[in-house]
Amino acid sequence: MAAKRHLTRGLRFRLTAGYALLFALLLIGIATLFRQRLAYTLDSEAHDILDQEWYALKGYLRIERAPIKGRAPLHAPPVWHYVWEFDKNDPDEAFIVERLRRIYLLTDATGNVMEVSTIYQALGIDPPREIQAALRSGQPLWKVRRTTHGAPYLIRAGVVYAAAGDEGHHHPFYVAIGRPMEESEKILKSQTWIYAGLIPFSLLCGCVLGWLLTGRALLPVTEVARAAQAISGSNLSLRIPTRAVGDELDYLIETFNRMIERLESSFQQIRQFSTDVSHELRTPITAIRGQLEVALFTAKTVEQYRDAVLNSLQDIERLSQIVRALLLLSQAESGQLALQKSRLDLASVVRDIVEQFQIPAEGARVELSADLPPECPADMDRVQIERMLSNLLSNSMKFTPAGGQVHVALRCLPETIEIEVADTGCGIPQEHIPHIFERFYRVPTQETCANPEPGLGLGLSFVAWIAKAHGGTIQVDSAPGRGSRFTVSLPAPVAAPAPVEAEPIPTVLG
């Protein structure tokens, strides 16, 4: 049953959400940067203009001591008056001075207002403390003031000195001018609103587009999943069609198809194996049943009963051989049968086995010879190596007619150890060679063979496993009528000796 799929856990959702988040952060970042840049530009522009205007105003303004009209008290404070020096007949100059004085304040050193424009008055007269501090520092003073309606103004204030009087002292005066900042604020605000509208809109568009695009990109994955669902144990011949684009998905599909191919061949092997096992077990069982039935209905003497029981026992022995061999093979292939390696002299092991086969070879009139080095140290499982040699030798004896030859050779090379069993027997047709290591596989018709007794078809499966378990390989060179040569290549031992020989495992015939 297909697992329930959560939308928020899906690749499509996560990809879209991830990109949307990244996109949002990027947009907000860029918008903030642009807004700050704009604010800075507007601000510095206003400062520059106001600074220039302040100096222009200073150029037109002249403050001097006014003559005291009438009788003034003896220690009366000096009276100052200011003069705007510009060409009164020039309308342009008059306009400039008028414009500069639109937002304008002039006070003496104590903060007494000498002249103030209406707009500046609305902003509020600077407190005397602030004026005195500005005059003391002599530095330009910048501030932002707001009207009661909240309209912002940038103010630039500074010191202007009166023309030197009789005592030769330059008296300081406080002059401040302003500039409306409402326009800049409006520009900034409208920019913010544009971003506030544009960012969610582009995010929404991005999400929709991302959702559609990821859906489109992931469509083949859904198709692959659908195709994979159609493949089951009974129709493993199906394959997921590749799109011939050569992308990651095609690679995944190819890998998947290769996996199904391997699965199919494993399924096939298992099916074949079940058929073979049932067939192998059925033959002796049918034979036993037949013999016992015949004995039951037709046997009259003890001798006849005895023959039937003996024949049945032989078949039972064959049955138990098959079962034992199968059990051992499955243990070997599932890794439950560990090798018991020890340092041994392979030359003497091979010599012993060849000697064991000498008497049967003489009986079959087959010439058995061996070419062995004086000694060949190896780290191997003695029992398994003996089993491998016995299986190869008994096959060669079985499939070599009288008058033929069987030759065993052992080559102890620096890197590898080669065991070769060659015969001049009936040989194996080329098309059967790849299958002879499969369980229960027997070459169907070996016409040139002297009708050898049927084996279990399990011997070479053992040989293949033993070679592989020792890290070696096996090679077959055979042709019908010419004979066969089985060469097992095993890795030579490393310098350090292997652990001491352990308990042998029970021997099973192939």
CB of 326 to ligand ADP, least distance (A): 13
Q: Is 426 in the site for ligand ADP (CB under 6 A)?
A: yes
Query: Which residue is closest to ligand ADP by CB?
Result: 455
C-alpha–C-alpha distance, residues 327 and 439, integer Å:
12
Query: Nearer Cβ to ligand ADP, position 260 or 456?
Result: 456
Helix, coil or strand: residue 493? coil
Q: Which of the residues 331 through 390 are near ligand ADP (CB under 6 A)?
A: none
What count of Cα atoms within 13 Å lies in the side-chain half-sphere of residue 269?
10
Nearest to 353, CA basis, from 400, 303, 304, 391: 391
Closest to ligand ADP by CB, 328 vs 460, is 460
Q: 264, exposed or middle or buried, with CB in 10 Å at 0-12, 13-18, 19+? A: middle
Residue 195 vs 441, nearer CB to ligand ADP = 441
Residue choice 324, 455, 473, 477 for contact with ligand ADP (CB under 6 A): 455
Span of 181-189, 205-213, 365-373, 457-465 interacting with ligand ADP by CB under 6 A: 457-465
The reply on whether position 480 binds ligand ADP by CB under 6 A is no
**Exactly one of 61, 443, 469, 488 binds ligand ADP (CB under 6 A); which one?**
443
Handedness of CA 399, 402, 407, 408 (dihedral sign): positive
- Interface with ligand ADP (CB under 6 A), residue from 370, 460, 466, 469: 460
- Structure tokens, 389: 């040699």
457 binds ligand ADP (CB under 6 A): yes
Count of residues that bind ligand ADP according to CB under 6 A? 23
Stretch in the footprint of ligand ADP (CB under 6 A) among 3-11, 127-135, 235-243, 435-443: 435-443
Minimum Å gap between C-beta 450 and ligand ADP is: 12
Task: Select from 96-104, 175-183, 284-292, 395-403 the region that touches ligand ADP (CB under 6 A).
Answer: 395-403
Part in contact with ligand ADP (CB under 6 A); list of ranges 21-29, 97-105, 111-119, 439-447: 439-447
Q: Is 427 left (phi over 0), alpha (psi -120 to 50) or beta?
A: left
404 touches ligand ADP (CB under 6 A): no
Q: Of the candidates 325, 449, 310, which has an alpha carbon nearest to the alpha carbon of residue 391?
A: 325
Between 457 and 493, whose beta carbon lies closer to ligand ADP? 457
* Shortest distance (Å) from residue 503 CB to ligand ADP: 26
Contact residue for ligand ADP among 116, 288, 368, 436 (CB under 6 A): 436
* Residue 371: exposure state from Cβ atoms within 10 A (0-12, 13-18, ≥19): exposed
Pick between residue 481 and residue 504 the one whose CB is nearest to ligand ADP.
481
Q: In the bound complex, what is the minimum distance in angstroms from residue 328's beta carbon to ligand ADP?
A: 14
Residue 131 or 456 with smaller CB distance to ligand ADP: 456
- 239, 351, 411, 442: which one contacts ligand ADP (CB under 6 A)? 442
- Are 301 and 287 in contact by the 8 Å Cβ rule? The answer is no
Count how many Cα atoms sit within 13 Å of the Cα of residue 410 in the half-sphere of its side chain.
Answer: 22
Q: In angstroms, how far is the first alpha carbon of the chain from the final one?
A: 44
* The only residue of 456, 466, 467, 490 in contact with ligand ADP, by rule CB under 6 A: 456
Contact call for residue 284 and ligand ADP (CB under 6 A): no
Stretch that binds ligand ADP, among 10-18, 282-290, 331-339, 423-431 (CB under 6 A): 423-431
Least distance CB 362 / ligand ADP (angstroms): 19
Kindly state whether residue 395 participates in binding ligand ADP, applying the rule CB under 6 A: yes
| Residues 373, 17: Cα–Cα separation, whole Å | 73
Cα–Cα dist 29/31, whole Å: 6
Q: Does 425 bind ligand ADP (CB under 6 A)?
A: yes
Cβ contacts of 117-125, under 8 Å, gap ≥ 24: 119/153, 119/178, 120/176, 120/178, 122/147, 122/148, 123/147, 123/153, 123/155, 123/178
Write the DSSP assignment of 63-96 as a string of letters. Answer: EEEPPPPS---TTPPP-EEEEE-S-TT-HHHHHH
Q: Closest distance between ligand ADP and the C-beta of residue 277, in Å?
A: 15
Residues with Cβ within 8 Å of 352's Cβ and at least 6 positions away in sequence, in order, are none
Query: Which residues make up the interface to ligand ADP (CB under 6 A)?
Result: 391, 395-396, 399, 423, 425-428, 436, 441-443, 446, 455-461, 484, 510
